[in-house]
Each structure stands twice: as C-alpha cells, then as structure tokens.
Amino acid sequence: MTDAVPTPEGPHAGGKGLAKSAGALAGLKVIDLTRVLGGPYCTMILSDHGAEVVKIEPPQGDEVRDWGPPFVEGSASYFIGVNRNKRSLALDLGKPEGRAVLMRLLEGADVLIENYKPGAMEKWGMGYADVLSKRFPTLVHCRVSGFGPDGPLGALPGYDAVIQAMVGLMSINGNAETGPLRMGTPIVDLATGLYSAIGILMALQERNRSGQGQFLDMSLHDCGMALLHPQAANYFLNDRRPKATGNPHPNISPYSKYRTATCEVFLAVGNDPAFRKFCDFLSLKSLPDDARFRTNGDRLANRDQLTEIIEARLAAEDGHALCDRLLKAGVPAGPVLHVDEAMNAAHTAHREMVTELGAYRGLGTPIKMSRTPGGTRAAPPRFNEHGDDILARHGFTADEVNELKAKGIVVGTRRT
C-alpha cells in the first residue's frame, strides 16, 4: 500500500467533477502495463476512486496517443479520454534491465494489469504461476487478451470490432436493410475494462479473507459474448437465430424510436400497466382494449400497425416538451440527442458527467459514492511525465536513474 494521490487543490480546485476525497481505493497501488483501451479504461476507473496507477508505457508509447485528430500537446483524444489520474513511466521491458526495474516497482503493489500476448510474461521470466505468485503472494495479476491463453483461438490477437463480429454483436445491430453493423462505441473494449475492474475488486475482497492474491484471465471474447442479452437468452429458449431489429426491442413493444414534429424520441413502454398509462396520457384510451394491442405479445405481433398509430398521434408534438411531460407522468421517454447536445444538457452538468481540470475536459465518473466520492485528480500524463519521481519513490538513486536513461531502459522521448 502507498499514499493515495492527493485530491486537486490550489488554482484548479474550482474545476468540475473533481475528486472530493482520497477515494474508496486510497492506498491501492496498481502497476498498469496495458495499452489502447480495455486495460486503460479499467485502470482509469480504479484511479478515479483513489488508486495510485503507475502507467508503464513502452518506448514507442501507448499507440492511441496517435489515434487522432484531435490532438492536445501531442496526444490524441483517444488517449486523453481514458488515462486521467495516472502517472507515466516509459520503460523498455524488452531488455533484462527494464524487467528488473519492473520487479522493483512490483514490491508493495496490489495489482498488476497487462495486455501482452498470452505467454509473453512467461517468456520474460515473469509468469504469475512460477514467479510472481511466489515473490509477491498477495499480488492480483489481471491479464487482458483477445481470446485467452488456450483453446482453438488461444493466444491469437483480438480487436474490438473483430470480436463484435465473432461473438454475434454485429449480427444483432442494424436492421434487415443495413445488415450487420459495428456498434459505434467500442463496446467490447469498454465492457472488458468494466469486467476487469469488477474482477480485480472481487479478488481484492477475497484477499482480505485469504491473504492471497490470484490471477485473472480476462478476454475480449468472453466479455463481448457476455453482452448478448436478451438475444442469447431468447436463443436458448426458442432455438431460433436472433435477428437485428434496428431500434425496436426484440421482446417489447412499444419500445423504439418515433418521429415528432421537432425531433425523434425514444419510448420505452415495458409492460401492460405502463402501456395503459401511456395511452391515457396521449388520449389513445381505446388502444389497450384493442385485440391487436392488449398484451405485449399482441403488440409485438402487430408492431407496425401500433407504430403507425403512435407516429400519427405524435406528428404535431414538440418532442422535447413531450418527453419532459411523459417522464413526469412516469412513462420512460427521451429525445434522441446528438453527442454535443448530450454533453451540454442541464442534467449532464448537474450529475457532473463532464469533468474539467485546467485545460482538460472528459467524461466524469458514473460511480457516485456518499462518503468517498471519486473524480478527476490529474490530467492524463505526458509520455514519461513522472518517470524520475516514480523511480525515486521506489528507491532508485539519481545515479541509477541516469544510468537507466543512458542505456535506453527509461525513455524520455517516444521512439518511432
């Protein structure tokens, strides 16, 4: 355990969505060897809530620093969006001296997370079973990979869109006209980050009882497949191939997007009592007793006719005002907003879901805790921004640090 990264203070204390406590994970030390998205998203969740995350980048840097435009100070938005609150050290682990540095950094660490190809850590003499678990028995080691270490696809590379295709997520997105579509957000990478954070916290909770760490085998394949609800549940019961339905829900109606005079809206009417309330609100009181629409099953079978009736009724309505009135009446509804509109919505500001610290802006933490609220503590780090300080805090002398730099083990400027 180490001292927690302090909460913001001084000239930036007046930002938005900032941490107001040391955090629920204060004292937790995480060594982060991950790049791109799933692993960094996981460690940002942990760092938002007080964990000290040491992000170790390869000499070339995390490649998503280049995934732009847009860029700020040489780093792309893709990097900036998932790396706040971390401290950066650039280390060449391809050399024995770099791996020796890593082993010193692991002393006192609670969590190691990496997304190297399965077998890489073993090849470097740092496998969990043979080395790390014996030298650091309380360490939780989380590995993120595409398909896991074994099986027909074991140790093969995996990427978000490829996994979306392979686990069926693309097949249920879109509609009959579009065919399978990649989801617009990298849902598999993000879900893997979330599942990894949950798994790490589970392992730490179990460690409180047993005193022992353990190894977490997290794969994009498994995490992507775990998102197939209700399509997998439907398939397990009816043995039918799920189809892409576009906006309409495969199991519920009315549960889709509808046109109004001013904007499109999404209605989520999930049961028969809600349908009656919805129809009463819109003065469509005869619909619940219409044989075509009495039950959810009836409404699914006659979805097209119901859509025509609803859109005819909404044709003269201001969608934004209508949704406000529906929500206040207890009927789930919302306008279909663009990203810029959602970022600037009043409730977004109220919930501090846009965070600001100096020039940095990002999405705030969705985890709201009463006693130990998390949030932004520091902007995403520049490449090797904290290298000297990290090494000094782990007992490296100035001469040792200079020698590591001279040998190219610690890297100050990204290699191309």
| pLDDT at 10 exceeding the cut of 90 | no
Q: Catalytic residue, from 48, 110, 160, 189: name it.
A: 189
| CB within 8 Å of 110: residues ≥ 6 apart | 1, 28, 29, 30, 138, 139, 140, 204
Mean pLDDT of 41-45: 98
Which residue segments constitute the domains of the chain, with CATH numbers given?
A: 10-227+350-406 (3.40.50.10540), 264-335 (3.30.1540.10)
Q: Is the pLDDT at 12 greater than 80, yes or no?
A: no
Residue 13: per-residue pLDDT? 55
What is the per-residue pLDDT for 378? 97
pLDDT at 11 over 70: no
Query: Do the beta carbons of residue 60 and residue 415 sit within 8 Å?
Result: yes
pLDDT number for residue 9: 45
- Average pLDDT for 157-174: 96
pLDDT, mean over the chain? 95
Per residue in 377-406, pLDDT (tens digit) is 999 999 999 999 999 999 999 999 999 999
269: pLDDT strictly greater than 60? yes
Active site residue 189: yes
What number is the average pLDDT over the span 175-197?
96
**Per-residue model confidence as pLDDT tens digits over 202-232:** 999 999 999 999 999 999 999 999 999 999 9
pTM value is: 0.93
Predicted local distance difference test score (pLDDT) of residue 14: 73
Question: Does residue 407 register a pLDDT over 50?
Answer: yes
